[in-house]
Amino acid sequence: MMKPADIKKIGMDGLLRNNPTFRLVLGTCPTLALTTAAMNGIGMGLAVTFVLIFSNVIISALRKVIPNEVRIPAFVLIIATFVTLLRMLLDKFIPSLYESMGVYLPLIVVNCIILGRAESFASKNPVLNSAFDGLFTGLGFTWALTFMGVIREVLGAGQIFGYTLWDFRIEFFSSSAGAFFVYGLCVALFNLIYTKVESHFHRVGFAKKYMTAPEAAQEEAK
């Protein structure tokens, strides 16, 4: 039985602590290529989330059946099945997204995030935990891509989610070089904020444990 604390830990890991894009720098290829628009970022993120959830669930369910020697080919087979299924679903029901994602959709098969979570989490944990891990890691990837997509779309095209804001645009942000530039800035910004917040909580936790109440309040105020 899964405890709420487990869900919270998995959620924090996927969304922030081990965010695949900004902390682990995984799935860089679609991150750089598809964040020219925020909607592309959301589309790619949700596509990866779909594959992550289902592949994690199946891999976790079969973790005692799949021999260690052939685990990687087995994982790739399972992931490829869900990516193919996703392609069929998108082509049928959301053809515009299917076309905009182009070659990056089948490339989800070799996305490091999915294979990484299969190898490091799903193959060692129960089904429900793995499903939550897939969900939160996918959502972490989605928000990161959307965040980058918003920055690049606003600066590079003067739009946000397809709606024009102004005529001003800096084409550089829509280019490949702009993608690297924005990605680098986002990683730096995220890690700066994350480190500050983490050290704050660490200090507060330490203060509450070892200091008197007034000293702890004073430390927290810092």
Partner 1 sequence: MTVKAFFKSKTFVCIVVLLCIALVAGALLSIMNDLLFVDDAERVARTVNNIYGQAMDYEIVYDEQAEGQVIFAQTNDQGQETGRINNAYLLADGNYLVKSTGLQGYKQGSVSVWCVAQFANDRFVALSDVSVADYDKQTLMSKFTKSVLDGFGGNQPYDLSNHLVSGATYSTNAVNNALNVALAYVKTLEGGAE
Contact status: 167 vs partner 1 (CB under 8 A): no
Question: CB of 23 within 8 A of CB of 100?
Answer: no
What angle do the packed helices 4-12 and 127-157 form, to 10 degrees? Answer: 30
Residue whose entry in the numeric block shows the structure tokens 């024009």: 164
Q: Using the rule CB under 8 A, give the single segment among 79-87, 148-156, 198-206, 212-220 that binds partner 1.
A: 79-87
Binding status of residue 64 toward partner 1 by CB under 8 A: no
Q: Please report whether residue 92 would count as binding partner 1 according to CB under 8 A.
A: yes
Residue 102 interacts with partner 1 (CB under 8 A): yes or no? yes
Question: Which range in 74-82, 113-121, 144-152, 202-210 contacts partner 1 by CB under 8 A?
Answer: 74-82
Asked if residue 65 binds partner 1 (CB under 8 A), the reply is yes
Cα–Cα distance measured from residue 89 to residue 91, given in angstroms and rounded to the nearest whole number = 6
Q: Where are the beta strands (DSSP E) in the chain?
A: 159-160, 163-164
66 binds partner 1 (CB under 8 A): yes
Residue 174 gets which letter from DSSP? G
As measured in angstroms, the least distance from the Cβ of 200 to partner 1 is 43
CA distance 94 to 86: 11
* 2 is a contact residue toward partner 1 (CB under 8 A): no
Q: Are the C-beta atoms of residues 34 and 174 closer than 8 Å to each other?
A: no
Q: What single string gives the DSSP state of each residue in 80-140?
A: HHHHHHHHHHHHHH-HHHHHHHGGGTGGGGG-HHHHHHIIIIITTS-HHHHHHHHHHHHHH
Select the span of 69-77, 106-114, 147-155, 190-198 touching partner 1 (CB under 8 A).
Answer: 69-77
Give the contact letters, 4-43, x = binds to partner 1 (CB under 8 A), - = no: ----------------------------------------
Q: Which CB atom, from 10 or from 58, has the smaller least distance to partner 1? A: 58
Q: Which residues bind partner 1 (CB under 8 A)?
A: 62, 65-67, 69-70, 73-74, 77-78, 80-81, 84-85, 88-89, 91-92, 95, 102
